[in-house]
Amino acid sequence: MTTKTIISTEQAPAAIGPYSQAVKAGNTVYMSGQIPLNPNSMEMVTESFEAQAVQVFENLKAVAEAAGGSLADCVKLTILLSDLANFAQVNEIMQRYFTQPYPARAAYAVKALPKDADIEVEAVMVLAD
């Protein structure tokens, strides 16, 4: 049986439901979806789509680091968008946080996200043995 380790950091928003920020099983870390919540105030970032996306990736970065890795260790991202018109901007912002070889990725338009966010991103990260 694989041991599960719960990952938690104050540098990312606290979970707003019955889930963990991330769970490590073996050398794989499953990061819960992050929305653009400021971890200090727990208030939504709302000034622009870019600001929301940057906050989401900063939150993921904090969780990755708390798990002992970095965004470079991510192997899969799932991006949920309230509007696919933001797809090109997501690609541009992602390039600020990721370099080649890029993680695998899926991007979907969804009807709604928690707290009326415009973006949510979840990730799977694999740490070195």
**Cβ proximity of 56 and 36 under 8 Å:** yes
- Give the tokens for residue 38: 């400021």
Assigned CATH topology for domain 4-126: 60s Ribosomal Protein L30; Chain: A; (3.30.1330)
pLDDT of res. 16: 83
What string of pLDDT tens digits covers the 129 residues of the chain? 678 999 999 999 998 889 999 999 999 999 999 999 999 999 999 999 999 999 999 999 999 999 999 999 999 999 999 999 999 999 999 999 999 999 999 999 999 999 999 999 999 999 987
**37 to each of 68, 73, 90, how far by Cα in Å?**
22, 23, 17
Residue extents of the structural domains in the chain: 4-126
pTM of this structure? 0.95
